[in-house]
């Protein structure tokens, strides 16, 4: 729990939610946020918006032919 609390203090709610779909995984990000007392509605709405953002970014990067892996 100590690592999660340090991560939370460093990045805060919006930082954790922004990194959840990409780096730490949705179940772990939701668990961290819920465990530290964030409302379920706030978690789900924020996670939905940021997941759509990351999916759109990935889609448009693939559409434009940007190769993010072999930069």
Its pTM stands at 0.73
**6-16 pLDDT tens trace:** 878 888 888 88
Q: Are 4 and 30 in contact (CB under 8 A)?
A: no
**38-62 pLDDT tens trace:** 999 999 999 999 999 999 988 888 8
- Share of the chain residues as helix, strand and coil, in percent rounded to the nearest 5: 80, 0, 20
38 CB-side CA count, 13 A: 20
Q: How confident is the model at residue 23 (pLDDT cuts 50, 70, 90)?
A: confident
**pLDDT of 43:** 93
């Amino acid at each position: 729990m100590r690592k999660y609390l340090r991560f939370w203090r460093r990045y805060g709610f919006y930082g954790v939610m922004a990194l959840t779909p990409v780096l730490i995984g949705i179940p772990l990000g939701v668990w961290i946020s819920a465990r530290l007392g964030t409302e379920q509605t706030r978690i789900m709405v924020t996670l939905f918006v940021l997941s759509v953002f990351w999916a759109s970014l990935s889609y448009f990067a693939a559409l434009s032919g940007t190769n993010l892996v072999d930069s």
